[in-house]
Structure 1
Amino acid sequence: MHILIAPDKFRGSLEAEEVCQAAKEGILLAYPEAEVTTVPMADGGEGTTSVLTRNAGGTLVAAQVSDPLGRSISAEYGISADGATAYLEMASASGLRLLAPQEYNPLHTTTYGTGELLRHALDRGVRTIILGIGGSATTDGGIGMAAALGYKFLDGAGAVLPPIGNSMSAIASIDSSEVDTRLRQVSVVVACDVTNPLYGERGAAYIYGPQKGADEAMVRQLDAGLRNLAQVAATTFEEDISQMPGAGAAGGVGAGALWFLNAKLREGVRIVMEQTRLAEKIEQADLVITGEGKVDQQTLSGKLVKGLADLCQEKQVPLAVVCGTLLISPAEAQEAGITYAVSVLNRPQSLEAAQSVAFERVREATFHLVRLFYSGMKRG
């Protein structure tokens, strides 16, 4: 029996590599003769850089950049073995995890550090940049990122505005005369796992602003700022992409990447699946096991589990999902193409307690599901 393990991380508990190890131990306890292949995965958010870099035989590079509040930090990105491709993660420079909860305020945060990461990669002479944009602390429409690459955002009097969320409403024009010319020579692909437009009730401010520290008044202000940015940018670049699916990703960086980097938006999970040649590996498997910290409605609209479920249905290979929190119904699991889904939690306990024993719980849950699967094979 050949089993493929291809999980995402369990946020706050286990990295994808650790989930692989725990699941592999559970499999071999249940069925020692099993052939096990492990492929740590990601969906474009945190962890994508390490997964893509490892699969490209590359190395991690450190860069001094600005955090969301402008403080100097060290951030990492990956370079492929041939030096042609850089793998960047917005969260490493502009992520919410870099701030203390009392510092959350998308009016004051900036994506400038992400732009510095891009500039550092350009200094390495790469030809392609893959940028994951999950986990951001910002709602600045990407103007911080753009400012680090030479764009200037001017108010009605021609003064340069600080590239933060609070400035978007005051932008009257965009000066691109000093933009880094190397941007014309690279291909930028943005790994994006949401489909929200830039502004409006489903836009960046209303849907994601509160988790970044925005109250109701701030959400309205940020949404108005994104609307203004869209109007000015559409005039400047002669293209209004504000309602394009994914434009509202990462506080509007989806739209900003299209305008300022001439980027293409792609599903992060598709990028990772292609690079890891996951479809070929699934064809060789009798069972695929995946997992992530929480499986819910969002999981079924573009996340790793849904991407795997689609591939497994195509290849007619059963898919089992282990997770911390399971918030989909049996009918939803069946409709999504998931053969088996189980929470690893087996007793009432606090979040901290559950996270501390996550490795053991994943191993146990995998042991039980493989025993069940193997017994079914023997009966068959």
Structure 2
Amino acid sequence: MSLLYPRKIDCPESPTGFKIAPADQRLLDQQAYQIEASQRRAEQREAEAFAEARERRWQQEEEQRRREGAARRKTIAADNSPPRDRVPYHIISMLQERAAKVKTFREQLQQVPRQLVEGGILACFSQHSGVQTALNHGGSRRAVLREAIAKLRVDDESDFAIHASCDYIERLLTEDEVAEQLLQSKPRNVAASFNEPVAEVATPARPVVDFQFARDRLQYAALAAYNGGKIDQPHLPYPIAIDVNTASVEHESQPTLLDHSPAKRVGTHTAQIDKKSGMLHAIQGRFTIDSPAAREVYSSFVPGNEISSHKWQASVRGDWSRLSFIKPGKVKVVNNQRIVGPCLVAHDFAWRETSFTGLGANSDRKNKVAQFHISERDEA
């Protein structure tokens, strides 16, 4: 309601001699308030329109900068031509963190009694077949354990802890078999009865395999310490291959260890990188230190009968600075071999040491198995 002509009332006290009627005064105040509110709303709409226009302008500028940046990055990528199969940094960090967890778990695993670890493996394996039935019917515990380890390794649901436990128990089983072979290879004199004198059995004289004999007479070599194929690592999601063409060695004379443990020194060898064949060779090995690890290795050698000696497998270790990834189903030539994905490829591999192991990590059994050969040196 708009009030154009308010009513006036005579008022002698007022300087003008009149005043506006109270009802009309209220209408005038309300009208003034509405006009002021309308002006404020108009100013607010104008400010909102200005803000929207500014926001649209900023978005257009941001889109233009994004397009220019994408075009610039595309140009740089075309100039540098980086490999498209390079593994992102966050995946490398994840793999390194997983490797640290596996190392910690393996150290803790050695503190657990062996029977508990074997029981855990059999418990996991019991979900696949009747383990207890096989044991009750006279089955060999060692054979059942090896079957369980083989099944759990191919099971996709098995985590790294189960794989590490399987590796640990399999190494112990291999050591048990080696010890049994050594005991069986020792000559024994058997008496016909307790009353009869023991007949001395003539045994061929052979040198005693002690440290002096090993140091002066024995040598070892692995002509394929790495055969150029895939390597299974429990802490990695895929097999890994070493690019021998980019591999390097800081010193030709390298330490030889047992099971990649720095505390288990065996001797030294000469490292040789054969880029033509795509292999790593460990040659001219010598037992240079008298340690329990060295005794475990050279005591398995049977002088004069290398065929009966225990066959140790070889395993290399080092650091890599760059990884690439072969996608599943893709084929790439690495070390003069056709590597079928999925597979990781380690470039710029720095070869640090080679170890005697009971079981190597080569997953490609079609190639030559990495194996150490212990033999006697020529006296000349």
Which TM-score band (shorter chain)? Answer: under 0.3
Larger radius of gyration: 2
* Structure possessing the higher relative contact order (Cα contacts under 8 Å, 6 or more residues apart): 1
TM-score by length of 2: 0.23
Between Structure 1 and Structure 2, the one with more strand by share is 2
